[in-house]
A and B are shown apart, each in its own frame.
Chain A
């Protein structure tokens, strides 16, 4: 926990992409503060830059200008492998299309982030079982992704995201591919993680029902905040 209770600070960040020889600006001089324990929804039309902002916060992309600080660490200043290690320890990522490895069972998928740690086999197993239990998937842990429904896959993905007890959770359209019932279950889970386990969550979403469950919503349009 850093001073003032701010978990994530984005300072005057600008990001553009290069396509062939054209430079396309995506984020223009954005600054936001996310306090610890917050459940933030990032919304906006497609092309607004919300996913890009999420990626910068998660440390899987770097800004062209400005700083991104997470829990006091300026992640833009870290080298590639340091950044990878930082991600493993501090970020849990939840994708729209789950992105589970098809050749691994649910158990093995959740175990993945733990392989980067020095935990013993027993300890790893305990963490995985705990995470899967938390998301409500006691059985079926040895099934392959193709044997699971969309909702179940997303739960496995969430279990994977929390198994290392990361500092922040980022979610990119977590309910985008789910039906109404499953979406509701997933949002319940995220809610629980935020309220009971005090996880700071930043979520990109189109779905107004999902956004309702967050504490706060920020809107972006053409790379700028429009609240």
Chain B
């Protein structure tokens, strides 16, 4: 339509100003996308939670272990199809001050852990080798790439929770089934840990960090949680059972102050998009006050004028949006590389893109509101009289 042509021509009148505005919007959109990606990445763990999985841990806090003897009792709870267990090993790999050297090190039961967590996919031959060897381990593909681990490498860990020097042989590399699966973890045999405790610290053998329960029907989960916690309520190791999603969410909400701050910053960014855009559109509309009056003399309606102003605003916002989104991806990738194990899953989510689009287009409309109101309310004769 003709209005589009006029909008384009008007925008090109001041090429420098239009380009700068587009650049400003693009940068703001890029940082918005980036901020929101950090916020969503923080909750990535929640998204990767299994539908029918529950976590049972010590009620006081997760740093206290549970006895291995719970295993059989848990298996017998009605509705529970499978039970596995794990312990957080911790320890220090190389220089602890370099955060790149942090990755989760978890002692598991190979027979049952990976059937409850089918999203960790290891080639069958590698897994078989891992299962056979006492001090073997499997590592995530992303971790292997980061640290340069290859099959057969020995990973030396200086224990802290479990003191002493430990060595693990890489026998398998797993891939994540979904985009949200964490590929930065290392798993080894719980039996290996337990045996060494038997020798070095007998008081610490037969203890498990947490249990994972697989429940047949999601609807049974609240009942299962209640039953398990009731049973152990008055024992030495009172338990807290919750769905895996709730468990992950509780970690996320501990950092909610920071997450909220990041979200607040992303709203400020929206404000900046608006300011930069509004600044330009206000100026442009003011310069053309007389032209708008002439158009109205010719019979063009207020709607047409509004369309011209809003059209230019939307044009700049849209181009800025596209450029900004395009830049968000490399920025996100760069950040993920800098903090690999901090955010094991760092993807620009679709919802982020949708919100960014809505924000930019919304800003395009909002920036035009005041100039449109001014242009429409101005009487034709006043407009004709105005000097740029």
Contact = CB atoms under 8 A, between A and B. Distances in A.
Direct A–B contact in the complex, CB atoms closer than 8 angstroms? yes
Interface string A87-117: 1110101010001011110000000110110
Contacts of B295: 101, 112
Contact of A60 (B2, B6, B301, B380): B380
A55 B300 CA distance: 16
Contact of B298 (A52, A80, A103, A113): A113
Contacts of B302: 80-81
B297 A87 contact: yes
A87 to B, nearest CB: 5
B299 A116 contact: yes
A33 interface: no
Interface in A44-95: 52, 55, 58, 60-61, 80-81, 84-89, 91, 93, 95
B296 A84 contact: yes
B189 interface: no
A61 B380 contact: yes
Q: Does more than half of chain B's interface fall in helix, strand or loop, or is it mixed? A: helix
Nearest to B298: A113
B94 interface: no
Interface string B275-317: 0000000000000001100111111111000000000000000
Contacts of B301: 80-81, 84
Could you say which interface size class chain A belongs to? 20 to 34
B243 to A, nearest CB: 60
A61 B381 contact: yes
A84 B299 CA distance: 4
A101 B298 contact: no
A84 B291 contact: no
A89 B300 CA distance: 11
Residue in A81, A84, A116 with the greatest tally of chain B CB atoms within 10 Å? A84
Contact of B381 (A60, A88, A91): A60
Nearest to A81: B301
B6 A104 contact: yes
A38 B43 CA distance: 79
Contacts of A103: 6, 9-10, 12-13
Nearest to A170: B297
B374 interface: no
B379 interface: yes
Given A60-B380, A61-B381, A104-B6, A95 B300 contact: no
Given A60-B380, A61-B380, A95-B384, A101 B299 contact: no
Query: Which of A85, A86, A112 neighbours the largest number of chain B CB atoms within 10 Å of its CB?
Result: A112
Contact of A95 (B10, B12, B294, B299): B294
B2 A115 contact: yes
Nearest to B290: A99
B297 A60 contact: yes
Nearest to B383: A60
Contacts of A58: 297
Contacts of A115: 2
A123 to B, nearest CB: 15
A101 B296 contact: no
Contacts of B297: 58, 60, 87, 91, 93
Contacts of A116: 298-300
A102 to B, nearest CB: 8
A89 B298 CA distance: 9
A113 B381 contact: no
Interface string B4-42: 001001101100000000000000000000000000000
B34 to A, nearest CB: 37
B13 to A, nearest CB: 6
Contact of B299 (A55, A85, A99, A104): A85
Interface in B330-385: 379-381, 384
Given A60-B381, A99-B290, A104-B6, A88 B298 contact: yes
B381 A101 contact: no
Nearest to B291: A101
7 contacts: A60-B296, A60-B381, A61-B381, A81-B302, A84-B296, A86-B299, A95-B384
* Shortest 8 CB-CB contacts between residues of A and residues of B: A88-B299, A103-B9, A60-B380, A99-B294, A87-B299, A84-B301, A113-B298, A93-B297
Given A85-B299, A95-B294, A101-B295, 13 more contacts: A52-B381, A60-B296, A84-B296, A84-B299, A91-B297, A93-B298, A101-B291, A102-B13, A103-B9, A113-B298, A115-B2, A116-B298, A116-B300
Interface of B: 2, 6, 9-10, 12-13, 290-291, 294-302, 379-381, 384
